[in-house]
Amino acid sequence: MSDREYPSRPIVAVGIVIIRDGRVLLVKRAHDPGRGTWAIPGGVVEGESLQEAVRREALEELGVKVAPRFPIWVSEVIQRDEGGRRRYHYVIVDFLCDLVEGNPSPRDDALDLGWFNIEKPPDKLTESTRELIGVLSRRILIVRNSDVREVLVGAPEGHLHKRTVFVLNDGMKIVLQEATMENVARAIVNVEMHPFRKYILLKGRRISKRERKRGYDEYQLLEEEVDEEDVKRRISKVLCE
């Protein structure tokens, strides 16, 4: 029996969520719980911070370097034995990550590895991974004036930069940082005022410390030079999904 069976308290683990072109990276588990099922790669926290655990597990399980961005999902996994005792008990914090270096390949803890369309995942998934992919697939949110209860704009106490908080009628809150709102507002004004341009694409980029200006965030929205007709088609496609 492993030291992770029949724990006296939940064991904290992390998941590594890497998405590329609408596909999520999954591994086929080599060990219980869930041997032979597809799951988000990850592992148990071993006396380090959650983000440190994400980076370590990425190297050990996938052979890559990742930059964890933020927690995207938290799940609890409980598996009981025939007598009803808790044989496995995990709390898993899944982090959305950027792939920084290397090509993922399965290591000792994985039988296989693959990129799967978020809309068409494999049938044999761990329950926590199924829940996460369900959240990822519900990623289109259309907000109209009638959906908004109020909008709050200003700097939180103790912060220098402003936030824009949309409070929706169903209680959901959407928080946009100052730099994000500025970039979006600039793009909207550009489209409205420019005599010819009608479509703009802003793309999230991770900028190295050496490349970015002092005081600027690591992640920035930068305008891309693209075919405006392509942007038009993509907007129409999203709204028809």
What confidence tens digit (pLDDT) does each residue in 11-47 have? 999 999 998 877 899 999 888 777 889 999 999 999 8
User: Which residues lie across from 2 on neighbouring strands?
Assistant: none
pLDDT at 241: 55
**What is the distance between the alpha carbons of residues 48 and 50, in angstroms, rounded to a whole number?**
7
Confidence of residue 109 (pLDDT cuts 50, 70, 90): confident
Please give the Cα distance from 98 to 68 (Å, whole number): 6
What mean pLDDT is reported for the chain? 88
CA atoms of 114 and 119, how far apart (whole Å): 15
Name the CATH code of domain 11-137 (choices 3.40.50.460, 3.40.50.300, 3.90.79.10, 3.40.120.10).
3.90.79.10
Domain ranges, ordered by start, for the chain: 11-137, 145-240
Closest of 175, 177, 176, 201 to residue 187, by C-alpha? 201
pLDDT confidence tier of residue 5, bands split at 50, 70 and 90: confident
